[in-house]
């Protein structure tokens, strides 16, 4: 496709990044976990209702600000009014307060205190702060990524030119010396064995590989090292720090390439199948107790 989008590092808000065009790891997940039809509904359907921000989503955004850019927390996240919106007067007060705080995250006092305590736990940790210095937080990157042909090469158009698609990633923390990337995760259990399950369930190896590939497509290289900084959501806000193994990233890259090619194939054909267009015999799952 012909690109008209700014490439490389692009300064933008988190909301603008997610609303912008470009294939991301989240896009790959929809195709892998659901179907191309779900992908079309979420990312292409012009009549799709925009996703409403929930309180957990707001807390998650505040969590990233608190840990990655702690000095900006009080400027970018504020405490809401101490009453509901049931009466006309209260509703008016909330409307005025939201206008005064456009662009800021508004949290209840308990959630704000919760986020602040997580920040303090991370920055008082004996190791974690060392991974969050000397770099830049929340870096959005856009690139044109060639489409693999499944035979070790790339898809070509009718003129013999390599076909590329706009891709993107948003890096939580990138060292300025290009040494490593830190990916911040909140989790119910940051122990190695528990996060290992999350690592698989949420396809974090795909994320690692995809981010590396986006950087390679734009800059010709990527930081050699990657670290997952995992913080528990409840006191004592225990922390685990885990680099992914090479074999897990290699497997993630294969899955990312598969999902990327599936999206491109559906886009080029404008065909968005669901779970199957043929009748499929159903058998019992391996864990059946029958």
> From CA 4, how far away is CA 159, in angstroms rounded?
20
The pLDDT > 70 percentage for the chain reads 99
Confidence check: pLDDT of 12 > 80: yes
pLDDT at 3: 76
> From CA 140, how far away is CA 5, in angstroms rounded?
13
Report pLDDT digits (tens) over 111-155: 999 999 999 999 999 999 999 999 999 999 999 999 998 888 888
Confidence check: pLDDT of 52 > 70: yes
pLDDT at 2: 64
Report pLDDT digits (tens) over 81-121: 888 888 888 889 888 988 999 989 999 999 999 999 999 99
CB 30 within 8 A of CB 38: yes
CB 220 within 8 A of CB 175: no
Confidence check: pLDDT of 217 > 90: yes
Confidence check: pLDDT of 277 > 90: no
Mention every residue, 6+ apart, whose C-beta is less than 8 A from residue 235. Answer: 117
pLDDT bin (cut points 50, 70, 90) of residue 4 is confident
Q: What mean pLDDT do residues 228-256 have?
A: 97
Q: What is the mean pLDDT of the chain?
A: 94
Extended beta strands in 154-235, E state: 164-175, 180-187, 225-232
Tokens 């790339």 identify what position? 154
Q: Mind listing the domains of the chain with CATH numbers?
A: 8-45+53-269 (3.90.320.10)
Six-digit token string for 170: 């948003």
DSSP readout, 57-101?
HHHHHHHHHHHHSGGGHHHHEEE--SS-S-SHHHHHHHHHHHHHT
Which run of H or E residues covers position 252? helix 246-269
pLDDT bin (cut points 50, 70, 90) of residue 199 is very high
* 194-219 burial code (b ≥16 CB/10 A, e <16): ebeebbeeebbbbbbbbbbbbbebbe
CB 169 within 8 A of CB 216: no
Confidence check: pLDDT of 42 > 80: yes
pLDDT at 276: 84
Confidence check: pLDDT of 273 > 80: yes
């Amino acid at each position: 496709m012909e690109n008209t989008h700014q490439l490389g590092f692009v300064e933008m808000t988190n909301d603008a990044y997610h609303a912008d065009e470009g294939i991301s790891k989240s896009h790959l997940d929809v195709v892998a976990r659901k179907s191309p039809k779900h992908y079309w509904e979420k990312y292409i359907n012009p009549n799709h209702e925009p996703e409403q921000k929930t309180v957990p989503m707001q807390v998650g955004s505040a969590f990233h600000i608190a840990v990655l850019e702690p000095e900006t927390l009080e400027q970018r996240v504020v405490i809401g009014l101490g009453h509901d919106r049931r009466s006309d007067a209260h509703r008016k007060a909330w409307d005025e307060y939201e206008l005064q705080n456009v662009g800021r995250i508004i949290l209840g006092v308990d959630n704000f205190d919760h986020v602040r305590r997580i920040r303090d736990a991370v920055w008082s940790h004996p190791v974690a702060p060392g991974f969050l210095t000397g770099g830049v937080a929340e870096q959005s990157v856009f690139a044109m990524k060639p489409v693999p042909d499944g035979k070790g090469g790339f898809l070509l158009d009718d003129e013999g030119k390599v076909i590329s698609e706009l891709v993107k990633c948003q890096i939580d923390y990138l060292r300025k010396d290009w040494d490593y990337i830190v990916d911040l995760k909140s989790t119910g259990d940051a122990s190695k064995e528990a996060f290992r399950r999350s690592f698989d369930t949420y396809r974090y190896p795909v994320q690692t590989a995809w981010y590396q590939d986006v950087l390679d497509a734009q800059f010709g290289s990527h930081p050699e090292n990657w670290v997952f900084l995992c913080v528990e959501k409840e006191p004592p806000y225990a922390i685990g720090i885990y680099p992914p193994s090479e074999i897990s990233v290699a497997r993630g890259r294969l899955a990312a390439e598969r999902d990327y090619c599936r999206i491109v194939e559906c886009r080029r054909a404008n065909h968005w199948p669901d779970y199957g267009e043929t009748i499929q015999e159903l058998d019992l799952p391996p864990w059946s107790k029958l």
